[in-house]
Amino acid sequence: MRIYDINPTNGTVIDPAGREAPIDPMRREPRIPAGATGVEPPANGANEAARWAGEAWEVVADWRGHVYWLTDGSRHEISELGIEPPADALDQAPPEPLEDLAERKRAAIATALADALAAGMPYTMPDGSEDTVQMLAEDRQNLLGLAIEARNLKAAGVSDPVQEFRGLSNTRYPMTPDQVIALTDAALGHYKVLKARSWDRKDAIDAALAAEDREGIEAVVW
């Protein structure tokens, strides 16, 4: 006599081939232990499973492990018996909405600009050493203050190295007003180039979005 063990978690048959029933040592005849049945499970088609319903097997949908997407881009995975993918399910992720793609690209450009500013501007100091001019917002305020001071000193006829600039290396560099003006002008120019690059990239994204040009949006990089 063959018996079929029932999975206690979900009611499916553990081994469709079943096994021989154990022999009752007292009665010397086959017996059906708890958690098993002598009813043979039915054959299943694709994405189907036999599930014990208390007195008989029932055939239910079995899409466990199947991954699908909806048109809103959400990803889903079926983990239970009896659940089928909805009629509008997609087998692969739908294309990212153009507005979302454009926003993601704008954010990437903004991040790249922030990274470029954080990296600073390489600069050859008056003593010939290489250092970096810091370009974050607070640093730009300090540069503006130095530039104003330098121009006032130059207007007053001062040409000695009475000003001081500290680079990223934390080295202090004595500078003349003209040297400070040259450094701050270079820093301002560097900042304008980076900002213009950012605006150019964002304008390209907006133009591609208006034209519904997915490839054009995706092609925009820093």
pLDDT by residue, tens only, the chain of 222 residues? 999 999 999 999 999 999 999 998 888 889 999 999 999 999 999 999 999 999 999 999 999 999 999 988 899 999 999 999 999 999 999 989 999 999 999 999 999 999 999 999 999 999 999 999 999 999 999 999 999 999 999 999 999 999 999 999 999 999 999 999 999 999 999 999 999 999 999 999 999 999 999 999 999 999
> What residue spans define the domains of the chain?
2-62, 64-94, 98-218
Instruction: Note the pLDDT of residue 161.
Output: 98
Q: Which amino acid is at 18?
A: G
Q: What's the CA gap between 130 and 113, in Å, rounded?
A: 23
Whole-prediction pTM: 0.66
Are 52 and 11 in contact by the 8 Å Cβ rule? The answer is yes
Tell me the sheet residues that pair with 59. Answer: 50
Are 146 and 137 in contact by the 8 Å Cβ rule? The answer is no
Q: Which amino acid is at 142?
A: N
Instruction: Note the pLDDT of residue 182.
Output: 98
Q: What's the CA gap between 7 and 188, in Å, rounded?
A: 72
Q: What's the CA gap between 90 and 182, in Å, rounded?
A: 60
Q: Which amino acid is at 79?
A: S
